[in-house]
Structure formats: structure tokens, C-alpha cells
Amino acid sequence: MAEANRAYETGDAEALRRILDEFQDGADAVTGEGIGAELIRIIRQISLAKTRLSAIERELAALRKSEIALLKKQAEEMQEEGRDLLAELAAAVGEQIDRARKKYESLLRQERHKPA
């Protein structure tokens, strides 16, 4: 249920569908006893596990391609070179802010010196 709540909160329709499918598969559980019934139950469990494993592999592949994962990889590579990615990014943003501030001040001065 917690997994369904997380999927609902994040709007993950695929996860909600998977959870519903797993629930419905469980509702159709084989009744009865004996080797045949037990074998069917085990085969269904294996199938569910394979389906879930495939979904997890897709999620991992998507996570590895995400911007945050790529940023982490870049930070690690730069750290090996003795560089600090976050410090460099902060410096670049600081420079952009300084340029924008100077441009703003220049435009403000121009506006003040315009004839009325």
C-alpha cells in the first residue's frame, strides 16, 4: 500500500498499473493443494518477479540517464582531476550575476539621463 501511495503522490501511472496488475494476479491465486497447484503458484511468482525485475531495470536505466546522474558523474570525473564542479558552477553563476547587474546599472543610468 505504501508503494501505491508513493506512486499516486508522484503521479507515476505506470507504477500504479503494475501494482494493480500484481494485486489482480494475487486475487486470481490458484486454490487447492498438491504439487500441481503449488507448481502453478511458483510459476506465477516467478513471472511476477521477472516482470518486476524488468520494471526495475527500466527505472535504473532511466535514472542513470537523468540529469542529476549525469551531473554526479561529471562531478566525480572532475574530482579525479582535482577540480570542484560545484565551485566552478558557482563561480560561473556569480560571473553571470555580475554581468547582469552591470547591464542593469548601465540601463538604469541611461534611463536617468534621457531627456524628459
Question: Which uninterrupted H or E stretch holds 91?
Answer: helix 85-112
**pTM tops 0.75:** no
Cell numbers for 50, please give them: 521477472
Over 60: is that where the pLDDT of 28 sits? Answer: no
Condensed to tens digits (0 to 9), the pLDDT of residues 34-52 reads: 888 888 888 888 988 898 8
pLDDT band at 1 (very low <50, low <70, confident <90, very high): low
- Return the residue matching grid coordinates 547582469: 100
Domain ranges of the chain: 2-65, 68-112
What is the rounded distance in angstroms from the CA atom of residue 101 to the CA atom of residue 35? Answer: 77
